Amino acid sequence: MTDDKGIIKEADPAVLHNLLRTMVLIRIFEEKIIEVYPMQDMKTPVHLYIGEEAVAAGVCAHLKKEDYVFTTHRSHGHCLAKGSDPEMLYAEFYGRISGCSKGKGGSMHPVDPENGILGTTAIVGGGIPIAVGTALASRMKKDGRISVTFFGDGASEEGTFHESLNFAALKQLPVVFICENNFSATTSPLSQRQPHENIAKKAGGYGIPGITVDGNNVLDVYDAAKAAVQRARQGKGPTLIECKTYRWKGHVGPDCDHEKGCRPMEDLNKWMKRCPVEMYKDLIINKGLITETDYMNLVKEIDAALDDSLKAAKQHPLPDTKELLKDVYYDKE
């Protein structure tokens, strides 16, 4: 853990508040999905991010609206942290025409161009090179944007990871690689897939910085991302940040897979004690930045807003079947 006192002193209080807000937003956004999912009318495979919120929050705090972010099948946290409208996301998950992808994509394929999310792929490792491509475009267009790609430990095993790092390092592109190492890919443990646990070590092979941080400590993430984003903005090239974290829920769906025997319960307990939201909340209450009441109010406020979003989203209509054949091809006219 870095000297969080240092960061806390340096950073703008608004930023510190926002870190909490973002994490709480992600947490409650997904808790609502868990609530409604058993009704069987949100027909999209949801990959919940609960337990990993500090990564999205800590990284996206440094990004401008126009910066590009690429997420994965586990998309909710990144979209929300980047500023996407919860109602539009819920609507998408309900397959509504008002969803961000007109109901065509679902939870695995959110899009939000206004917030720099140009689309999402659920092919493991698929989004990494695409983010390098937007970074290349930014370099060519000199538009000052940077690109961030979030991906899992599993994705770091795909050839595209290697090909992307090589190219980004070669061209010194403004891209930040955020590997969310939650030690599993579906239910397969990292130890059955990689020779060791330190994914950031790969960076050395490409001559770029590789940093490992505690992905449950939002200030650690914030700190590492700050340096990486700065490097990218200054044209100094890519950085690989590995955030060690843990997924509380099953790979897909609202259940806890530990109960099915997929992963050791003691792991979950250990990591739940290190809940990113709780840890950070306690820290900033300790530091006197907010009070327990402030926090309760924040939770209530977000909860109410998300209730409204969810309710509104559900009321939107499903796409007409005429939509089926549309959007296969782009048409200039």
Partner 1 sequence: MPWTKVYIDKNELKDTLAREGLRGLSYRDALKEAQEQLLRDDESVFLLGEGVDDSGGIFGSTLGLWKEFGKDRVMDIPIAENGLTGVAIGAAIAGMKPVFIHMRMDFLPMCMDQIINHAAKWHYMTGGRVNVPLVIRSIIGRGWGSAAQHSQALHALFMHIPGLKIVVPSTPYDAKGLLIASVRDGNPVMFIEHRWVYDYIGYVPEETYTVPIGKGIVRRPGKDVTIVAISLMVYEAIKAAKTLEKMDIDVEIIDPRTLNPLDEELIIESVKKTGRLVIADVSCKTGGAGAEIACRVAESAFDYLKAPVKRVNFPDTPTPCSPSLEDAYYPDAETLVESVKGLF
Ligand X SMILES: Cc1ncc(C[n+]2csc(CCOP(=O)(O)OP(=O)(O)O)c2C)c(N)n1
Q: Which is nearer to Mg ion, 86 or 154 (CB)?
A: 154
Q: Does 332 bind partner 1 (CB under 8 A)?
A: yes
**Among 15, 123, 170, 265, contact with a second copy (rule: CB under 8 A):** 170
Round to the nearest angstrom and report the end-to-end CA distance of the chain: 54
Among 16, 28, 169, 185, binds a second copy (CB under 8 A): 169
Q: How many residues sit in the footprint of Mg ion (CB under 5 A)? A: 5
Choose the binding region for partner 1 from 28-36, 160-168, 212-220, 287-295 (rule: CB under 8 A): 160-168
Please identify, among the stretches 20-28, 91-99, 188-196, 218-226, the one whose residues bind a second copy according to the rule CB under 8 A.
188-196
When CB distances are held under 5 to 8 angstroms depending on the partner's kind, the choice from a second copy, Mg ion, ligand X, none that residue 93 binds is none
Query: HSE on the CB side for 37, CA within 13 Å?
Result: 17
Q: How many residues bind partner 1 (CB under 8 A)?
A: 82
Looking at beta carbons only, is 152 or 174 nearer to ligand X?
A: 152
Nearest CB to partner 1, comparing residues 163 and 267? 163
Window contacting ligand X (CB under 6 A); options: 134-142, 150-158, 277-285, 320-328: 150-158
Shortest reach from residue 108's CB to ligand X, in Å? 9
